[in-house]
A and B are shown apart, each in its own frame.
Chain A
Amino acid sequence: MTGKLFNFKDYIRPRFFPHMWCPGCGHGIVLGSLLRAVHELGLNKNEIVITSGIGCSSRISGYVDFHSLHTIHGRALSFATGVKLSKPSLKAIVPMGDGDALAIGGNHFIHAARRNIDITAIVMNNRIYGMTGGQFSPLSGSGKKATTAPYLTIDRNFDVVELAKSAGATFVARSTVFHANECKDILKKAISHKGFSVVEILTQCPTYYGRKNKEGDAVQMMEGYKTNTTKIGSKKLEKNPNLIQRGIFVENTEVPEYCEAYDEIIKTAMKGKA
């Protein structure tokens, strides 16, 4: 497909549309960046398995014309682990929401990172449970409003990048839906990376998070991604250390990939050892 102009219709299932995301939701931009990344990498649609859990973000899997596995809440990475280990020639992509990935799915997240299995985990972080109507997530952070925090949240938030790094992910990056091209370029690198890759993408939920926390409409929230973030190590950061950094934080190709390591186990076992 390389060389051919990108046409999103080549990559979606019209049957599944219109999508169920709210007006102003950032998730469609993530979908666009993902499809452009797949297109530019020239991947065959038959070699991609997209596995998701439950939540607004997880509906991505139905919309794309890849092999798609829409599973149960929080467990997408474990299903994807079975797909990938059983057939390592497949590309495994796992889009997840923040609650899906890091509350109910937190254990699978750190263990997939520890194994360094070749899966691309995309954490679509809108800091809220959208599908159930605006409850706080482990990425909301303290002092926020949610339907389950009418007096403000007291829960602290995870930093996805720091968590992924310390759990051993060998590719860790962050971007936002304001930076759609940057998202696409990072996703290309993440999908090509041999090992567990984590891409956090900040994406707005104007319907719940924005409305509850008076952050304005979709345009204003996206403006926030522009003004409140900066590239890793930029000069702006020296002046304002509170800016959220974007870019690739870890890209480590030294660690053995899990499926390749298991192939060595098979070789050993077939020789009759152990």
Chain B
Amino acid sequence: MKDNNNIRFVQGNEACVEGAIYAGIDFFAGYPITPSTEIMEHLASRLPKKGGKFIQMEDEIASMGAIIGASLTGNKVMTATSGPGFSLKQEALGYACMAEIPCVIANVQRGGPSTGNPTHVSQGDVNQVRWGTHGDHAIIALTASNHQDVFKITVAAFNMAETYRTPVVILLDEVIGHMREKLVIPEPGEIPVVERLRTSVKKGVDYHPYLPREDGRLPMSDFGSEHRYNVTGLFHDMWGFPSNDPQVVSELMRHLVDKIENNVNEINMYKEYWLDDAEYILISYGSSARSAIHLAKNRRARGIKIGVLELQTLWPFPTEMVREKCAGAKSIIVVEMNMGQIITQVKNAVDNPSNVFLSNRIDGELISPADIKTVLRMIQGKGV
């Protein structure tokens, strides 16, 4: 297929690649793992065509290390993986949080734990994305239920990585990754692309790599340019100098969390369907949201006041938005393919947690509208 053809029929993994290219990816390092491998295969072909670099590393840990190194020389970087590989990346992901290195990690979820169900769908890594690496920290995680949105959140992921100097996780799932559907690639400029913010501090003037500007952003300086500074995973001061001074430690910890948690409204992406008068609200994300939307449309046709809140930003969790959207609902059903991960956040957000129910599927099959309908009918007292 020619590059100038804007309409494609692609896998979700390819939509992610197209989004990364649109966002200006320069460097990818990865290790093959089902069901994410197509992302690296396509980038192996695409990146050198635009003068970018691709490397297949010896393992998942090394891939994460390589993208962090490449980000520091001034590049937009990405890696892609699935559950077992995502587990291996956690330590270096925490390093990127601590050292504030922009990078994007795609995790195309499969069944877990362990080797699990490699070729089947799951949404079991939601909490791992939030708390997989050790220590307090904040993280951004985005997801999508169709290929146009996969493209959109991938561009957003690169933009947020640059804006907040942080790792951003694109949390896809096997159904989205492997399913084929239409993708229209936007024209250049149609979606804003955030470029690396570089310091304006001149040669010979002290540059403080970890001193935030008034707007909270930290301009970077590429390795190889005039400003030589230290990057470390230890707690550090504004020079990047290691420190265990209680004040330095406390301020950095608060900065790392606040820069993300305080911008939850800017980071929050979501879609809503028929929420205005909804008595029943389905909250879902990723491929599960497709079934939720299908069922809601179907029930609406039968006069039931039901709507869908589709989350695209999972972390930081948009607690306020969920509370507001759910304020008028009788019952809320969280639709997800795990033992109940986002439901914990939803219960925490809404005024009456006892009105929140789970419709889940954990057997490697895509949750169906009929699965959700069963839970809905039970809540309605109609029997299964």
Which of B64, B69, B231 lies at the interface centre, i.e. has the most chain A CB atoms within 10 A of its CB? B69
Tell yes or no: B235 within 8 A of A by CB. Answer: no
Q: Collect the chain A residues with CB atoms within 8 Å of residue B62's CB.
A: 75, 77-78, 81, 107-108, 111
Q: Which of A13, A71, A265 contacts B95 (CB 8 A)?
A: A71
Q: Is the CB of B233 within 8 A of A86?
A: no
Q: Collect the chain B residues with CB atoms within 8 Å of residue A70's CB.
A: 230-234, 242
Q: Is the CB of A72 within 8 A of B233?
A: yes
Tell yes or no: A180 within 8 A of B by CB. Answer: no
Which residues of B44-74 are within 8 A (CB) of A?
45, 48-49, 51, 53, 55, 57-59, 61-74
Q: Collect the chain B residues with CB atoms within 8 Å of residue A108's CB.
A: 58, 62, 65
The stretch among A136-144, A156-164, A266-274 that forms the contact with chain B is: A266-274
A61 CA to B234 CA, complexed, in Å: 13
The stretch among B119-127, B221-229, B376-384 that forms the contact with chain A is: B221-229
Q: Is the CB of B223 within 8 A of A266?
A: no
Tell yes or no: B26 within 8 A of A by CB. Answer: yes
Q: Mark A59-83, 1 if CB is under 8 A from B, else 0.
A: 0011001111111100101111111
Q: Is the CB of A72 within 8 A of B66?
A: no
Q: Which of B69, B71, B222, B228 contacts A66 (CB 8 A)?
A: B228
**Cβ of A54 to closest chain B Cβ, rounded Å:** 8
Q: Is the CB of A15 within 8 A of B241?
A: yes
Nearest-neighbor residue (CB-CB) of A20 within chain B: B242
Q: Collect the chain A residues with CB atoms within 8 Å of residue B51's CB.
A: 266, 270
**Cβ of B66 to closest chain A Cβ, rounded Å:** 3
A61 CA to B228 CA, complexed, in Å: 12
Q: Is the CB of A86 within 8 A of B27?
A: yes
If A15-B241, A89-B224, A274-B45 touch, whether A78 touches B65 (CB-CB below 8 Å) is yes
Q: Collect the chain B residues with CB atoms within 8 Å of residue A68's CB.
A: 228-231
Tell yes or no: A49 within 8 A of B by CB. Answer: yes
Q: Is the CB of A72 within 8 A of B95?
A: yes
Q: Is the CB of A90 within 8 A of B224?
A: yes
Q: Mark A85-128, 1 if CB is under 8 A from B, else 0.
A: 11101100000000000000001100100000000000000000
Which secondary structure characterizes the binding site on chain B? mixed
Q: Collect the chain B residues with CB atoms within 8 Å of residue A49's CB.
A: 223-224
B-side interface residues, number (CB < 8 Å): 46
If A46-B226, A90-B223, A90-B224 touch, whether A82 touches B241 (CB-CB below 8 Å) is no
Q: Is the CB of B223 within 8 A of A82?
A: no
Tell yes or no: A262 within 8 A of B by CB. Answer: yes
Q: Mark B120-145, 1 if CB is under 8 A from A, else 0.
A: 00000000000000000000000000
Tell yes or no: B264 within 8 A of A by CB. Answer: no
If A49-B223, A69-B72, A90-B223 touch, whether A75 touches B48 (CB-CB below 8 Å) is no
Q: Is the CB of A45 within 8 A of B69?
A: no
A274 CA to B45 CA, complexed, in Å: 7
Q: Which of B69, B230, B234 contacts A79 (CB 8 A)?
A: B69
**Cβ of A108 to closest chain B Cβ, rounded Å:** 6
Nearest-neighbor residue (CB-CB) of A265 within chain B: B48
If A72-B92, A82-B29 touch, whether A67 touches B58 (CB-CB below 8 Å) is no
Q: Collect the chain A residues with CB atoms within 8 Å of residue B49's CB.
A: 269-270, 272
If A69-B69, A72-B233, A266-B51 touch, whether A82 touches B27 (CB-CB below 8 Å) is yes
Nearest-neighbor residue (CB-CB) of A63 within chain B: B230
**Cβ of B65 to closest chain A Cβ, rounded Å:** 3
6 nearest A-B residue pairs (beta carbon)? A82-B69, A78-B65, A82-B66, A78-B62, A269-B48, A86-B70
Can you identify 27 A-B contacts, CB atoms within 8 angstroms?
A46-B228, A51-B69, A62-B230, A62-B241, A67-B229, A68-B231, A69-B231, A70-B242, A72-B91, A72-B95, A78-B64, A79-B66, A80-B69, A81-B57, A82-B66, A82-B77, A84-B69, A85-B55, A86-B27, A90-B73, A90-B223, A107-B58, A108-B58, A268-B48, A269-B48, A269-B49, A272-B49
Contacts A78-B65, A82-B70, A82-B72 given; 4 further ones with Cβ under 8 A? A85-B27, A270-B49, A270-B51, A274-B45
